[in-house]
Amino acid sequence: MYLRQGQQLNHGKYTIQQMLGQGGFGITYLATTADGEQVAIKEFFMKDACMRQDDSMRVTVPTEGVREDVERYRKKFIKEANNLLRLRHPNIVAVYEVFEENDTDYYAMQYMPGGSLRDHVRQFGPMDEPTARSYVLQVASALRYMHERKHLCHYDVKPGNILIDGEGQAMLIDFGLSKNYDGSGQQTSSTP
């Protein structure tokens, strides 16, 4: 069960407008701020392990047997959010804040109304070479910044993880598989 239109998060700072999508580990919503700005909110919600009662926003884990797995993936979700929070590049989706509420975690990020490259190709067919080259160069710029300045490797670059805005900007998203490295190239995370 997902959050419904009109429900509020973070002490009324965000109002849910609609669900945008759900994956195995989270639900993404379109929300508005009190100023009317549109943002995307990602909620940690393991599809096969978490529950929510119809009349509640609170997320529960129904059995002790899966609680440990849920907590492990919740920590990964927070790691992804914090990795994104520290990245500042014009081709990486901006995360505004990470917060806990309803016995789960959320992060608010830049909303990209243009959909993904995958969606674009499915809807309009193959793109022309100059457009494709532009997107490749933008994503390459984001990856260079991540590798050289933040010692972070994405590990899941694909058309579904590249969003497009209305002005031809490509934005890299979904850092759930990313890994941190130290200056010598040694992995600093042991998550498989």
User: Do 59 and 52 touch, CB atoms closer than 8 A?
Assistant: yes
- The 3-state DSSP class for residue 70 equals helix
The answer for 191, left when phi > 0, alpha when psi is -120 to 50, beta otherwise, is: beta
In the chain, count of helices (H) and strands (E)? Answer: 3, 10
Residues 6+ apart with CB under 8 A from 33: 13, 14, 15, 39
User: Which residues are annotated as catalytic?
Assistant: 156
